[in-house]
C-alpha cells in the first residue's frame, strides 16, 4: 500500500495572510489524520512564509502518523530535525528564495555532503529520503549516501500527463526499477493530483509514499477536506482496469 502524506504548507500560507491563527495548522493536521491521511508533511523555509519553525514543534506533539519534515539541510533545519526526531527527513536542494522545490539533488556533485548529512540524521533515528530527478545517473550515487529512500520529483510527469501519459511516466518507471534493484525505498511528490495520481501508482505499484499538498488543498475548497483525502486515498487504491 502506498501511504498518502498530506503537506499542510498551504494551510499555513492561508493562516499567515491574516496574521492570526485561522486556520489552525495543528488542528488541520489532526483532522487530516482523522480523515485518513497516513502522514503529515511540512517544509519550513527560512523566511517562515508558510510553516513556521514553532509550527513544527507544535505539530510534533500531536501527529500520530508519520511526520515528514522536508527542507534544505542548513544548520537550522538540521537542528530542528534533531530536536523533533520525525519519522522521516526529506532533503531538498531548493535555495531560500525558491517559491517551491523545482529540481532534485545532483547526487554526483553533492554525494560527500549528503553522505555526512544522512549519517547525522540517521543518528537521530530518522528515516532519510533524498529528493531526486528521474535520471538514472543520480540513483547509484544516492545509494552511496546511505539514504533509505529517494523521492521522485514528479513535476515533469504532471506537466506532460495530459499530452501523453505513457511517455510522461516512462522515465519514472525506468528509474523506479533501478531504485528497486538498489533497494532504495521510493516516494514521489510535486504536482500530483486527482487526475494523474492513479496512473503513476498503477505504473509504479511499489511506491512507498506520495506527498501531496497544493492540489489537495485546492480540491478541498470544492470537495471538503475529509472527502478530498478519501478521494486521493481511492486513487491510490484504484485497480488498473479502471484507468
- Active-site residues: which are they? 43, 70, 190
C-alpha cell at 123: 543518528
**Secondary structure string (H, E, C) spanning the chain:** CCEEEEECHHHHHHHHCCCCCCCCHHHHHHHHHHCCCCEEEECCCCCCCCCCHHHHHHHHCCCCCEEEEEECCCHHHHHHHHHHCCCEEEECCCCCCCCCCCCCCCCCCCHHHHHHHHHHHHHCCCEEEEEECCCHHHHHHHHHCCCCEEEEECHHHHHHCCCCHHHHHHHHHHHHHHHHHCCCEEEEECCCCCCCHHHHHHHCCCCCEEEECHHHHHHHHHHCHHHHHHHHHHHHHCCHHHC
Q: How far is CA 17 from the centre of its chain?
A: 24
Contacts of 160 (CB under 8 A, 6+ apart): 167, 168
Amino acid at each position: 500500500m502506498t501511504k498518502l502524506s498530506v503537506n499542510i504548507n498551504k494551510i499555513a500560507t492561508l493562516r499567515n495572510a491574516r496574521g492570526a491563527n485561522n486556520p489552525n495548522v495543528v488542528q488541520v493536521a489532526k483532522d487530516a489524520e482523522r480523515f485518513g491521511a497516513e502522514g503529515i508533511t511540512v517544509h519550513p523555509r527560512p523566511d517562515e512564509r508558510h510553516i513556521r519553525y514553532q509550527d513544527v514543534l507544535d505539530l510534533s506533539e500531536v501527529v500520530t502518523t508519520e511526520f515528514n519534515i522536508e527542507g534544505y539541510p542548513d544548520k537550522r533545519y538540521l537542528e530542528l530535525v534533531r530536536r523533533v526526531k520525525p519519522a522521516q527527513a526529506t532533503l531538498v536542494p531548493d535555495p531560500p528564495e525558491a517559491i517551491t522545490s523545482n529540481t532534485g539533488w545532483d547526487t554526483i556533485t553533492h554525494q560527500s555532503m549528503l553522505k555526512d548529512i544522512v549519517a547525522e540524521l540517521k543518528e537521530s533515528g530518522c528515516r532519510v529520503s533524498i529528493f531526486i530527478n528521474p535520471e538514472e545517473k543520480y540513483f547509484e550515487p544516492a545509494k552511496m549516501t546511505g539514504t533509505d529512500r529517494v523521492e521522485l520529483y514528479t513535476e515533469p510527469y504532471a506537466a506532460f500527463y495530459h499530452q501523453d501519459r505513457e511517455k510522461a511516466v516512462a522515465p519514472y518507471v525506468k528509474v523506479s526499477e533501478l531504485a528497486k534493484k538498489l533497494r532504495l525505498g521510493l516516494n514521489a511528490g510535486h504536482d500530483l493530483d486527482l487526475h494523474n495520481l492513479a496512473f503513476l501508482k498503477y505504473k509504479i505499484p511499489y511506491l512507498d509514499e506520495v506527498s501531496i499538498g497544493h492540489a489537495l488543498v485546492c480540491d478541498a475548497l470544492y470537495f471538503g477536506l475529509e472527502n478530498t483525502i478519501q478521494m486521493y486515498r481511492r486513487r491510490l487504491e484504484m485497480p488498473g482496469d479502471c484507468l
